[in-house]
Amino acid sequence: MPATKTRDLEAILNRLRERKMRVTKNRERVIGALLTAEKPLNAEQIRERGDLDLVTVYRNVEAFEQAGVLQRIPLENGTQIFELTAPDEHYHHLVCRECHQAERLDVCVGEEMRKVAKANGYSHIAHVLEVYGLCRECVEDNA
């Protein structure tokens, strides 16, 4: 793993330690898989890349989400993919509905949504904004 990824890994592990979570080989593998992928992965992809039990993957992405170092991205078909994020950051994505490649978008409507939701009497607000399309490669493959 390149030096910069090693630093990222350490930063995340420290975050876990702060939260009194144990640093295990499995957890390093989950994080390593996501770091080296450089794109969001689904549970099965994490399992495969990290040589992990699928249950361990699910339990750990859940734990990481709680710890604020990971974000879930819902796909159009109801499944989800996972991505590492700095604590208190969150992103939106442009996702290919064919190959599920996903890239970050540089837009966020968080403040606006929060305002509207509060006006309607809602609290504990979160929002999901994902854009789905066909990436260039998949359009060509289909042609």
The verdict on 53 binding DNA (CB under 7 A) reads: yes
Q: How many residues bind its own copies (CB under 8 A)?
A: 35
d(CA 12, CA 123): 29
Q: Which phi and psi (to 5°) does residue 104 adopt?
A: -75, 145
| Residue (of 66, 57, 56, 53) closest to 21 by Cα position | 66
Q: Contact with DNA (CB under 7 A): which of 5, 15, 26, 110?
A: 26
Q: Contact with its own copies (CB under 8 A): which of 20, 22, 25, 124?
A: 124
Q: Which is nearer to its own copies, 3 or 143 (CB)?
A: 143
- The residue length of the chain stands at 143
d(CA 40, CA 93): 10
The SS3 call for residue 112 is helix
Task: Name which of DNA, its own copies, none residue 116 binds, using a CB cut-off of 5 to 8 Å depending on partner kind.
Answer: its own copies
- Contact window for its own copies (CB under 8 A) among 6-14, 29-37, 47-55, 73-81: 73-81
Q: Which is nearer to its own copies, 27 or 47 (CB)?
A: 47
Q: Contact with DNA (CB under 7 A): which of 3, 22, 123, 126?
A: 22
Q: Contact with its own copies (CB under 8 A): which of 55, 62, 74, 86?
A: 74
Contact 102, 95 (CB under 8 A): yes
Q: Is residue 32 within a helix (H) or strand (E), and if so which, with residue range?
A: helix 25-37
Binding site for DNA (CB under 7 A): 17, 21-27, 42-44, 52-56, 58-60, 62-63, 77-80
